[in-house]
Structure 1
Amino acid sequence: MADDRICVGAIAGAFGVHGEVRLKSFCAEPSDIANYTPLTSEDGKRSFTVSLTRSVTGGIGARVTGIATREEAEALKGMTLWAPRDALPSLPDDEFYHADLIGLDVVDTGGQSLGRVRAIYDHGAGDILEIIGGKDILMLPFTKAIVPTVDLAARRIVADPPGADE
Protein backbone atom coordinates (compact mmCIF):
# COMPACT_ATOMS: atom_id res chain seq x y z
CA MET A 1 0.00 0.00 0.00
CA ALA A 2 3.00 2.29 0.23
CA ASP A 3 3.08 2.85 -3.52
CA ASP A 4 1.24 5.97 -4.58
CA ARG A 5 0.32 4.48 -7.98
CA ILE A 6 -1.97 1.69 -9.16
CA CYS A 7 -1.61 -0.34 -12.36
CA VAL A 8 -4.75 0.42 -14.39
CA GLY A 9 -3.91 -1.24 -17.69
CA ALA A 10 -1.38 -2.48 -20.19
CA ILE A 11 -0.61 -1.94 -23.84
CA ALA A 12 -1.41 -5.18 -25.66
CA GLY A 13 0.11 -4.11 -28.98
CA ALA A 14 -0.42 -1.95 -32.02
CA PHE A 15 -3.77 -1.48 -33.73
CA GLY A 16 -3.88 -0.28 -37.30
CA VAL A 17 -1.09 1.54 -39.12
CA HIS A 18 -1.33 5.06 -37.67
CA GLY A 19 0.05 4.57 -34.17
CA GLU A 20 -3.06 3.42 -32.32
CA VAL A 21 -2.54 0.92 -29.52
CA ARG A 22 -4.71 -1.88 -28.18
CA LEU A 23 -5.22 -1.27 -24.46
CA LYS A 24 -6.15 -3.87 -21.89
CA SER A 25 -7.91 -1.97 -19.12
CA PHE A 26 -7.84 -3.31 -15.56
CA CYS A 27 -10.58 -0.88 -14.47
CA ALA A 28 -14.02 -2.16 -13.41
CA GLU A 29 -15.43 -0.06 -16.25
CA PRO A 30 -12.76 -0.47 -18.98
CA SER A 31 -13.30 2.98 -20.52
CA ASP A 32 -12.52 4.65 -17.17
CA ILE A 33 -8.81 4.22 -17.91
CA ALA A 34 -8.96 7.42 -19.97
CA ASN A 35 -10.17 9.36 -16.90
CA TYR A 36 -6.88 8.84 -15.08
CA THR A 37 -4.44 10.28 -17.63
CA PRO A 38 -1.67 11.11 -17.78
CA LEU A 39 -0.62 7.52 -17.14
CA THR A 40 2.98 6.53 -16.56
CA SER A 41 5.12 3.51 -17.29
CA GLU A 42 5.95 1.31 -14.30
CA ASP A 43 9.35 2.94 -13.87
CA GLY A 44 7.73 6.40 -14.12
CA LYS A 45 10.08 7.50 -16.88
CA ARG A 46 7.39 7.79 -19.57
CA SER A 47 4.09 9.61 -19.36
CA PHE A 48 1.13 9.28 -21.71
CA THR A 49 -2.16 11.00 -22.25
CA VAL A 50 -4.64 8.41 -23.49
CA SER A 51 -7.67 9.05 -25.67
CA LEU A 52 -9.90 6.11 -26.51
CA THR A 53 -10.89 5.61 -30.14
CA ARG A 54 -13.02 2.45 -30.37
CA SER A 55 -13.70 -1.02 -29.04
CA VAL A 56 -11.40 -3.63 -30.54
CA THR A 57 -11.07 -7.37 -30.12
CA GLY A 58 -9.35 -8.03 -26.81
CA GLY A 59 -9.42 -4.47 -25.53
CA ILE A 60 -9.84 -0.83 -26.43
CA GLY A 61 -8.28 1.10 -29.30
CA ALA A 62 -6.51 4.24 -28.14
CA ARG A 63 -4.14 6.98 -29.11
CA VAL A 64 -1.32 7.83 -26.75
CA THR A 65 0.75 10.99 -26.88
CA GLY A 66 4.02 10.77 -28.74
CA ILE A 67 3.11 7.64 -30.72
CA ALA A 68 2.50 8.19 -34.43
CA THR A 69 3.46 4.96 -36.21
CA ARG A 70 2.62 1.28 -35.96
CA GLU A 71 6.26 0.55 -35.13
CA GLU A 72 6.24 2.99 -32.21
CA ALA A 73 2.98 1.48 -30.97
CA GLU A 74 4.29 -2.07 -31.29
CA ALA A 75 7.39 -1.11 -29.28
CA LEU A 76 5.12 -0.35 -26.30
CA LYS A 77 3.61 -3.85 -26.26
CA GLY A 78 3.57 -5.24 -22.72
CA MET A 79 4.07 -1.87 -21.02
CA THR A 80 1.91 -1.48 -17.93
CA LEU A 81 0.16 1.84 -17.34
CA TRP A 82 -0.01 3.39 -13.90
CA ALA A 83 -2.28 6.08 -12.42
CA PRO A 84 -1.82 8.09 -9.24
CA ARG A 85 -3.73 6.44 -6.39
CA ASP A 86 -5.40 9.72 -5.50
CA ALA A 87 -6.88 9.98 -9.02
CA LEU A 88 -8.79 6.71 -8.52
CA PRO A 89 -12.16 6.48 -6.78
CA SER A 90 -12.40 5.45 -3.15
CA LEU A 91 -13.72 1.93 -2.75
CA PRO A 92 -16.43 0.58 -0.46
CA ASP A 93 -15.21 -1.30 2.62
CA ASP A 94 -15.61 -4.71 0.96
CA GLU A 95 -13.68 -3.88 -2.24
CA PHE A 96 -9.92 -3.63 -2.68
CA TYR A 97 -7.36 -2.66 -5.25
CA HIS A 98 -5.27 -5.71 -6.17
CA ALA A 99 -2.12 -3.74 -5.39
CA ASP A 100 -3.28 -3.43 -1.78
CA LEU A 101 -3.64 -7.21 -1.38
CA ILE A 102 -0.31 -8.29 -2.84
CA GLY A 103 2.20 -8.94 -0.08
CA LEU A 104 -0.37 -9.35 2.72
CA ASP A 105 0.14 -12.23 5.16
CA VAL A 106 -2.56 -14.90 5.05
CA VAL A 107 -3.60 -16.94 8.08
CA ASP A 108 -6.31 -19.54 8.52
CA THR A 109 -9.19 -19.05 10.98
CA GLY A 110 -7.05 -20.62 13.73
CA GLY A 111 -4.23 -18.13 13.16
CA GLN A 112 -1.91 -20.62 11.41
CA SER A 113 0.15 -18.98 8.64
CA LEU A 114 -0.76 -20.01 5.09
CA GLY A 115 1.75 -17.70 3.44
CA ARG A 116 1.69 -14.38 1.62
CA VAL A 117 -0.35 -13.13 -1.35
CA ARG A 118 1.91 -13.13 -4.41
CA ALA A 119 -0.64 -12.38 -7.15
CA ILE A 120 -4.34 -12.07 -7.94
CA TYR A 121 -5.81 -13.60 -11.08
CA ASP A 122 -9.19 -13.21 -12.74
CA HIS A 123 -9.92 -15.76 -15.44
CA GLY A 124 -13.55 -14.72 -15.75
CA ALA A 125 -15.15 -16.50 -12.80
CA GLY A 126 -13.89 -14.17 -10.08
CA ASP A 127 -10.61 -13.29 -8.44
CA ILE A 128 -8.21 -16.00 -7.29
CA LEU A 129 -5.51 -15.29 -4.68
CA GLU A 130 -2.15 -16.95 -5.23
CA ILE A 131 -0.60 -17.54 -1.82
CA ILE A 132 3.02 -18.61 -1.40
CA GLY A 133 3.96 -20.38 1.81
CA GLY A 134 7.47 -21.80 1.72
CA LYS A 135 7.53 -24.18 -1.23
CA ASP A 136 3.73 -24.46 -1.32
CA ILE A 137 1.43 -22.51 -3.61
CA LEU A 138 -2.21 -22.18 -2.60
CA MET A 139 -4.85 -20.81 -4.96
CA LEU A 140 -7.96 -19.53 -3.15
CA PRO A 141 -11.14 -18.03 -4.55
CA PHE A 142 -11.42 -14.44 -3.30
CA THR A 143 -14.97 -14.78 -1.96
CA LYS A 144 -16.48 -13.71 1.36
CA ALA A 145 -16.97 -17.41 2.30
CA ILE A 146 -13.31 -18.33 1.71
CA VAL A 147 -11.76 -14.98 2.70
CA PRO A 148 -13.96 -13.57 5.46
CA THR A 149 -11.49 -10.92 6.67
CA VAL A 150 -9.16 -8.50 4.94
CA ASP A 151 -7.45 -6.17 7.38
CA LEU A 152 -5.36 -3.69 5.39
CA ALA A 153 -4.26 -1.81 8.52
CA ALA A 154 -2.82 -5.02 10.03
CA ARG A 155 -1.63 -6.17 6.56
CA ARG A 156 -3.37 -9.51 7.11
CA ILE A 157 -5.99 -11.70 5.48
CA VAL A 158 -7.92 -14.41 7.31
CA ALA A 159 -8.89 -17.30 5.04
CA ASP A 160 -11.01 -20.42 5.52
CA PRO A 161 -9.73 -22.70 2.74
CA PRO A 162 -12.04 -25.45 1.50
CA GLY A 163 -11.31 -28.74 3.24
CA ALA A 164 -9.34 -27.05 6.03
CA ASP A 165 -11.58 -28.56 8.72
CA GLU A 166 -11.25 -32.13 7.45
Structure 2
Amino acid sequence: MSDKPVTLAAVTGAHGVTGEVRLKLFGEGVDALKPHKRFDAGETGGTLTLVKIRSDNKGGAIARFTEVADRTSAERLRGTALSVSREALPALEEGEFYFSDLLGLAVVSDKGEPVGQVCAVENYGATDIVEIEQVDGKKFMVPLTEQAVLGWTAETLTIADDFWER
Protein backbone atom coordinates (compact mmCIF):
# COMPACT_ATOMS: atom_id res chain seq x y z
CA MET A 1 0.00 0.00 0.00
CA SER A 2 2.72 2.49 0.90
CA ASP A 3 4.38 2.38 -2.52
CA LYS A 4 1.23 3.21 -4.52
CA PRO A 5 1.31 6.69 -6.10
CA VAL A 6 -1.31 9.16 -4.88
CA THR A 7 -3.56 10.87 -7.42
CA LEU A 8 -3.93 14.57 -6.62
CA ALA A 9 -5.95 15.78 -9.63
CA ALA A 10 -7.41 14.86 -13.00
CA VAL A 11 -7.52 16.83 -16.23
CA THR A 12 -11.11 17.69 -17.14
CA GLY A 13 -10.36 19.52 -20.39
CA ALA A 14 -8.61 22.39 -22.11
CA HIS A 15 -8.78 26.00 -20.95
CA GLY A 16 -8.26 28.56 -23.70
CA VAL A 17 -6.11 28.07 -26.78
CA THR A 18 -2.58 28.18 -25.37
CA GLY A 19 -2.41 24.72 -23.77
CA GLU A 20 -3.73 25.33 -20.28
CA VAL A 21 -5.85 22.58 -18.73
CA ARG A 22 -8.70 22.52 -16.23
CA LEU A 23 -8.18 20.27 -13.23
CA LYS A 24 -10.50 18.49 -10.82
CA LEU A 25 -8.72 18.47 -7.47
CA PHE A 26 -8.71 15.48 -5.13
CA GLY A 27 -6.69 17.01 -2.31
CA GLU A 28 -6.82 20.03 -0.06
CA GLY A 29 -7.16 22.59 -2.85
CA VAL A 30 -4.81 24.19 -5.33
CA ASP A 31 -2.14 24.84 -2.67
CA ALA A 32 -1.65 21.07 -2.29
CA LEU A 33 -0.43 20.89 -5.91
CA LYS A 34 1.91 23.90 -5.87
CA PRO A 35 4.86 22.16 -4.14
CA HIS A 36 4.94 19.47 -6.86
CA LYS A 37 6.73 20.27 -10.10
CA ARG A 38 6.40 16.90 -11.84
CA PHE A 39 3.34 14.67 -12.14
CA ASP A 40 2.97 11.15 -13.46
CA ALA A 41 0.26 11.34 -16.10
CA GLY A 42 0.15 7.63 -16.85
CA GLU A 43 0.82 5.92 -20.15
CA THR A 44 -0.88 8.56 -22.27
CA GLY A 45 0.69 11.63 -20.72
CA GLY A 46 4.06 10.45 -19.41
CA THR A 47 5.54 12.98 -17.01
CA LEU A 48 4.15 16.52 -16.94
CA THR A 49 6.18 19.45 -15.61
CA LEU A 50 4.12 22.13 -13.87
CA VAL A 51 4.87 25.70 -15.01
CA LYS A 52 2.06 27.49 -13.19
CA ILE A 53 -1.23 26.78 -11.45
CA ARG A 54 -4.08 28.92 -10.17
CA SER A 55 -7.54 28.44 -8.71
CA ASP A 56 -10.49 28.54 -11.06
CA ASN A 57 -12.58 29.93 -8.15
CA LYS A 58 -14.99 26.99 -8.56
CA GLY A 59 -13.14 24.37 -6.51
CA GLY A 60 -10.80 23.33 -9.33
CA ALA A 61 -7.66 24.73 -10.92
CA ILE A 62 -6.15 25.91 -14.18
CA ALA A 63 -2.65 24.62 -14.92
CA ARG A 64 0.04 24.99 -17.54
CA PHE A 65 2.55 22.21 -18.22
CA THR A 66 5.79 22.53 -20.19
CA GLU A 67 4.85 19.57 -22.41
CA VAL A 68 1.45 20.98 -23.46
CA ALA A 69 1.80 23.68 -26.11
CA ASP A 70 -1.70 24.11 -27.55
CA ARG A 71 -5.40 23.40 -27.11
CA THR A 72 -5.26 20.16 -29.12
CA SER A 73 -2.56 18.75 -26.83
CA ALA A 74 -4.54 19.90 -23.78
CA GLU A 75 -7.72 18.19 -25.03
CA ARG A 76 -5.83 14.91 -25.48
CA LEU A 77 -5.14 14.91 -21.74
CA ARG A 78 -8.84 14.96 -20.79
CA GLY A 79 -9.42 12.24 -18.18
CA THR A 80 -5.73 11.93 -17.31
CA ALA A 81 -5.00 11.38 -13.63
CA LEU A 82 -2.07 13.35 -12.18
CA SER A 83 -0.20 11.41 -9.51
CA VAL A 84 2.89 11.80 -7.37
CA SER A 85 4.90 9.27 -5.41
CA ARG A 86 4.15 8.94 -1.71
CA GLU A 87 7.67 10.08 -0.89
CA ALA A 88 6.82 13.48 -2.43
CA LEU A 89 3.95 14.00 0.04
CA PRO A 90 4.09 15.24 3.63
CA ALA A 91 4.22 12.60 6.36
CA LEU A 92 0.82 11.59 7.70
CA GLU A 93 -0.16 12.28 11.30
CA GLU A 94 -1.63 9.59 13.54
CA GLY A 95 -5.08 8.60 12.24
CA GLU A 96 -4.61 10.28 8.85
CA PHE A 97 -4.74 8.42 5.52
CA TYR A 98 -5.11 9.04 1.82
CA PHE A 99 -8.42 8.17 0.15
CA SER A 100 -6.40 6.25 -2.44
CA ASP A 101 -5.41 3.82 0.34
CA LEU A 102 -9.03 2.63 0.45
CA LEU A 103 -9.59 2.24 -3.29
CA GLY A 104 -9.74 -1.39 -4.38
CA LEU A 105 -9.98 -2.82 -0.86
CA ALA A 106 -12.19 -5.86 -0.42
CA VAL A 107 -15.19 -5.02 1.76
CA VAL A 108 -16.62 -7.40 4.36
CA SER A 109 -19.39 -7.01 6.91
CA ASP A 110 -18.71 -7.18 10.63
CA LYS A 111 -20.27 -10.66 10.45
CA GLY A 112 -17.51 -11.74 8.03
CA GLU A 113 -19.65 -11.81 4.90
CA PRO A 114 -18.03 -10.62 1.65
CA VAL A 115 -19.71 -7.42 0.46
CA GLY A 116 -17.71 -6.17 -2.53
CA GLN A 117 -14.94 -3.69 -3.23
CA VAL A 118 -14.30 0.02 -2.54
CA CYS A 119 -14.64 1.81 -5.89
CA ALA A 120 -14.62 5.48 -4.79
CA VAL A 121 -14.32 7.83 -1.85
CA GLU A 122 -16.17 11.14 -2.13
CA ASN A 123 -17.07 14.13 -0.02
CA TYR A 124 -20.26 16.03 -0.80
CA GLY A 125 -19.92 18.44 2.11
CA ALA A 126 -21.25 16.68 5.20
CA THR A 127 -18.75 13.82 5.60
CA ASP A 128 -16.56 11.50 3.59
CA ILE A 129 -18.46 8.74 1.78
CA VAL A 130 -17.18 5.31 0.72
CA GLU A 131 -18.75 3.89 -2.45
CA ILE A 132 -18.83 0.10 -2.59
CA GLU A 133 -19.43 -2.04 -5.66
CA GLN A 134 -21.01 -5.39 -4.85
CA VAL A 135 -20.23 -8.59 -6.74
CA ASP A 136 -23.46 -8.21 -8.77
CA GLY A 137 -22.31 -4.74 -9.94
CA LYS A 138 -24.75 -2.76 -7.78
CA LYS A 139 -23.20 0.14 -5.91
CA PHE A 140 -24.07 1.72 -2.60
CA MET A 141 -22.53 4.29 -0.29
CA VAL A 142 -21.74 4.37 3.42
CA PRO A 143 -20.51 7.30 5.48
CA LEU A 144 -16.88 7.11 6.54
CA THR A 145 -17.81 7.25 10.22
CA GLU A 146 -16.92 5.00 13.15
CA GLN A 147 -20.51 3.67 13.20
CA ALA A 148 -20.47 2.55 9.54
CA VAL A 149 -16.82 1.81 8.74
CA LEU A 150 -15.43 -0.20 11.62
CA GLY A 151 -11.86 -0.23 10.32
CA TRP A 152 -9.53 -1.40 7.58
CA THR A 153 -6.25 -3.11 6.90
CA ALA A 154 -4.07 -3.09 3.79
CA GLU A 155 -6.39 -5.72 2.26
CA THR A 156 -9.88 -5.33 3.77
CA LEU A 157 -12.36 -2.65 4.84
CA THR A 158 -14.97 -3.74 7.40
CA ILE A 159 -18.43 -2.15 7.53
CA ALA A 160 -21.24 -2.57 10.03
CA ASP A 161 -23.77 -5.08 8.71
CA ASP A 162 -26.58 -2.53 9.26
CA PHE A 163 -25.10 -0.31 6.52
CA TRP A 164 -24.92 -3.05 3.88
CA GLU A 165 -27.56 -2.69 1.18
CA ARG A 166 -28.38 -6.15 -0.09
TM-score range, shorter chain: 0.7 to 0.9
TM-score, normalisation: structure 2:
0.81
Instruction: Return the alpha-carbon distance in structure 1 between the equivalents of residues 16 and 26 of structure 2.
Output: 22
Is 2:19 the partner of 1:19? yes
Q: Could you say which residue in structure 2 is the equivalent of 1:62?
A: 63
Q: Could you say which residue in structure 2 is the equivalent of 1:137?
A: 139
- The code of the aligned residue for 2:47 comes to S
Is 2:5 the partner of 1:5? yes
Match of 2:151 among 141, 149, 161: 149
Count of matched residue positions in the alignment of Structure 1 and Structure 2? 162
TM-score, normalisation: structure 1:
0.81
- The code of the aligned residue for 1:74 comes to E
Tell me the CA shift for residue 107 of structure 1.
2.2
Unaligned runs of 5+ in 1: none
Tell me the CA shift for residue 69 of structure 1.
1.8
Unaligned runs of 5+ in 2: none
Q: Could you say which residue in structure 2 is the equivalent of 1:28?
A: 28
1:129-158 per-residue CA deviation (whole Å, 9 max, x = no partner) reads 222332143321112221131223xx2222
Is the alpha carbon distance of 1:25 and 1:3 closer, same or farther for their aligned partners in structure 2, counting shifts above 3 Å?
same
Instruction: Return the alpha-carbon distance in structure 2 between the equivalents of residues 48 and 68 of structure 1.
Output: 12
Q: Could you say which residue in structure 1 is the equivalent of 2:73?
A: 72
Is the alpha carbon distance of 1:133 and 1:77 closer, same or farther for their aligned partners in structure 2, counting shifts above 3 Å?
closer
Q: Secondary structure at the match of 1:36?
A: coil
1:29-50 per-residue CA deviation (whole Å, 9 max, x = no partner) reads 3321132231011238611111
Is the alpha carbon distance of 1:133 and 1:67 closer, same or farther for their aligned partners in structure 2, counting shifts above 3 Å?
closer
Q: Secondary structure at the match of 2:97?
A: coil
Q: Could you say which residue in structure 2 is the equivalent of 1:126?
A: 127
Q: Which 4+ stretches in 1 moved above 6 angstroms?
A: none
Instruction: Return the alpha-carbon distance in structure 1 between the equivalents of residues 53 and 45 of structure 2.
Output: 25
Q: Which moved more, 1:77-86 or 1:41-50?
A: 41-50
Contact 1:140/1:161 (<8 A) preserved: no
1:72-102 per-residue CA deviation (whole Å, 9 max, x = no partner) reads 2222222111111111122233232222112
Q: Secondary structure at the match of 1:43?
A: helix
